[in-house]
Amino acid sequence: MGLLSDIRSPEDVRALTPGQMPELAEEIRRFLVGSVSRTGGHLGPNLGVVELTIAMHRVFESPKDTFVFDTGHQSYVHKLLTGRQDFSALRKRGGLSGYPSRAESEHDVVENSHASTALSWADGIAKANVVRGRDDRHVVAVIGDGALTGGMAWEALNNIAEGHDRRLVIVVNDNGRSYSPTIGGLANHLDTLRTTQGYEAFLDWGKRALFRSGPPGRFAHRWLHGLKKGLKDVVAPQGMFEDLGLKYVGPVDGHDVAALEHALSRAKSYGAPVIVHAITEKGRGYTPAEQDVADRFHAVGVIHPETGLPVAPSRFGWTSVFADEIVAIGRRRPDVVAITAAMLHPVGLAPFAEEFPERTFDVGIAEQHAATSAAGMAFAGLHPVVAVYATFLNRAFDQVLMDVALHRAGVTFVLDRAGITGEDGASHNGMWDMAMLRIVPGLRLAAPRDEATLRAALRTAVDVDDAPTVVRYPKGALVSGIPAVEELDGVDVIARHTGKKSDGGARRVLVVGVGSMATTALETGEALAAHGVDVTVASPTWVLPVPAALVKLAGEHDLVVTVEDGVVDGGVGSMIAQRAGEQGILTPQVHVGLPVEFLDHASIDHIRTTRRMTAADATRDALAALALL
């Protein structure tokens, strides 16, 4: 790998000559395409920050100078330059995390990959440096233009601006995109900055035009001063940042290491908060990514590096079903509108936006605003459908509770990637939603098990106009259809088994499979029946509030086994037990699900196995509870 293979720390990067920078950048890009194409991961964002990361490590001294990456998905280059060049197991158990990881390196600080948090982290670290008298170090926060659409980033900027004694450099990595093109007023402002770099050139033209007839007089100087003052807000509108009290440097070419080093060195010497505005290109240097308009290379699976095409094409998945059904609903219901938080394509709203552009609202990385804006739309006669990843609804819990539920607003939240997501690690597993949302008064939550129940749940959800509804589904491909063999007051029974006991005294077990765990529940039921147990397997689509029929079923059995892909404490199983207990039904229960802990990156199957969430685990626990083991 030439230069890259000799880099073990940032000191090695600083030891290289300026003339070696283009070669190093090219090597890094070849490495990223070759490695990430074999493992999957965030390719486009990292190709875009190669020169920027090199320049940061040449101007600053990590880890004494603290680097904070917003979301962290663009930290692969940082990993390479800090000695982590084994990407063979990237995002797999035992391999490198796809985000910064304190367990990996002292150069990594913030592990949370939820957006718009880096500036608050940086503000806190910079304040602590001042309090502790550490005036020999800087904090460098890298935040994308997409993350700047999040309100928390502006709360941080408001505080950072008053810290004139804080050595803090904010690098705005401006590529005009988050997952997809960045939207909103900030995007328009940055676009103006990007496209009006001719400020000084325009002044030079003015000078030449004015002085063409001879030496300048007093009037000419006054005219030039007025021209410069008037053009500043029009041609160089960095005043938005400077009005906050923040020094602004840029725009600078984010793919020119020398220019970046110069800009970062100026910012470093200032001794107070500075914004360095770097213009970069997502996917830089990789033709398939540069030519992609749908941002397929933001995060990829295993791909052919030459073409960028997936090695194994994705099977028809949950998101595709939602994408199809919400368009069908939109055609019938002109009051249904769609809201997303900078993830139009990933959550499946692109087809809806194409057919109903005036009814689609991308609010940027602003889940709190999305929820409260939806409440306002509901008040005004619309039915908003807010589609986000399950992990990101955590950020808007207060708004769901106090703005939507308190006001009995008919808003539907669609949670993609609910449950275990695996490779992206702790911050992306959508495992908290059911336990979190169970305490929201009036909220109804559906966990469909297959395509048919997902479509039905969506249709039911948008018909509720006096309370929030939630429809959650997992990451990945759909399972085969699981039809109900019986329906009991809204609860689907998907299997019944009669255990073969010679004395006719078979024990009766109710197995409840929540959402995508219905398959595991079916397997558990079959295994228990093989041990002579009578089994009823139920899979209620609507799990919150707990259906009365499910509580009744619990009272008709000797044991209840619940299987869910959320946290057990406060989950659906615990809610069934609570409701049954309130009615004097004391049937013993076994709850299978996730512990309340942060999960390291690993495959979904590995996590389910190590957390004892398989059918074999559920069967053993049930037999033990029945004293049959």
Give 457-500 pLDDT, tens digit per residue: 999 999 999 999 999 999 888 888 999 999 999 899 999 999 77
Question: Per-residue confidence at 431, pLDDT binned at 50, 70, 90?
Answer: confident
Q: What is the pLDDT of residue 64?
A: 94
* H-assigned helices in 356-450: 367-379, 390-393, 397-399, 433-437
Active site residue: 92, 177, 282, 417, which one? 282
- Stronger pLDDT, 88 or 408, i.e. the higher one: 408
Q: How far apart are CA 185 and CA 224, in angstroms?
A: 31
- Give the model's confidence band at 199: pLDDT under 50 very low, under 70 low, under 90 confident, else very high: very low
Q: Packing angle between helix 451-461 and helix 318-332, nearest 10 degrees?
A: 40
pLDDT of residue 193: 54
**563 neighbors 613 (Cβ within 8 angstroms):** yes
By mean pLDDT, which of 85-94, 292-301, 573-582, 609-618 is the weakest?
292-301
Please, is 442 exposed, middle or buried when counting C-beta atoms within 10 Å of its C-beta (0-12, 13-18, 19+)? middle
Alpha helical stretches, state H, 511-547: 518-530
The percent of residues in the chain predicted with pLDDT above 90, rounded, is 54
| Residue 201 pLDDT greater than 50, yes or no | no
Q: State the pLDDT at residue 290.
A: 72
Binding site residue list for thiamine diphosphate: 73, 113-115, 146-147, 175, 286, 367
The predicted structure's pLDDT at residue 1: 55
Q: In this structure, what token pair is assigned to residue 493?
A: 């029974």
Residue 171 is predicted with a pLDDT of 93
Residue 318 in contact with residue 416, Cβ under 8 Å? yes
Catalytic-labelled residue, pool 395, 438, 449, 475: 395
When comparing pLDDT for 353 and 101, which is higher? 353
**C-alpha span between 580 and 243 (Å, rounded):** 60
Give the confidence band of 378 by pLDDT, cuts at 50, 70, 90.
very high
What's the token pair of residue 34?
């070759």
Q: Given this model, what pLDDT does residue 402 score?
A: 92
Known binding-site residues for Mg(2+) equal 145, 175
Residue 98 has pLDDT above 90, yes or no: no
Distance of alpha carbon 103 from alpha carbon 505, whole angstroms: 54
282 counts as catalytic = yes
Q: Which residues are annotated as a binding site?
A: 73, 113-115, 145-147, 175, 286, 367
User: Phi, psi at residue 536, to the nearest 5°?
Assistant: -115, 125
Per the annotation, the verdict on 27 as an active-site residue is: no
DSSP secondary structure code for residue 403 in this structure: I
- Predicted pLDDT at 191: 55
Percent share of the chain, pLDDT over 70: 85
Task: Pick 552 or 34 by higher pLDDT.
Answer: 552
Report the b/e string of 236-257 with b at 16+ CB within 10 A: bbbebbeebebbbbbbbbbbbb
pLDDT bucket at 72, cuts 50 / 70 / 90: confident
Query: What is the rounded average pLDDT of the residues 497-521?
Result: 85
Residue 203 in this model has a pLDDT that exceeds 60: no
pLDDT at 232: 46
pLDDT of residue 506: 77
Residue 321 · residue 457 · CB < 8 Å: no
Residue owning tokens 């004694």: 165
Phi-psi region of 94 (alpha: psi -120 to 50; beta: other; left: phi over 0): left
pLDDT digits (tens, 9 = 90+) for 166-186: 899 999 988 875 445 555 555
Q: What is the mean pLDDT of the chain?
A: 85
Confidence of residue 551 (pLDDT cuts 50, 70, 90): very high
The yes-or-no verdict on residue 436 having pLDDT over 90 is yes
Active site residue 395: yes
In this structure, what token pair is assigned to residue 464?
A: 């509720």
Extract the runs of DSSP E, i.e. beta strands, from 49-134.
Answer: 66-69
Given its phi and psi angles, is residue 317 left (phi above 0), alpha (psi -120 to 50 degrees) or beta? beta
Q: CA 497 to CA 509: how far, in whole Å?
A: 10
Sign of CA dihedral 567, 572, 576, 578: positive
| 3 state DSSP class of 427 | coil
Better-predicted residue by pLDDT, 73 or 442:
442
- Summarised one tens digit per residue, pLDDT across range 47-65 is 889 999 999 999 999 999 9
Contact assessment for residue 386 and residue 366, using Cβ atoms and an 8 Å cutoff: no
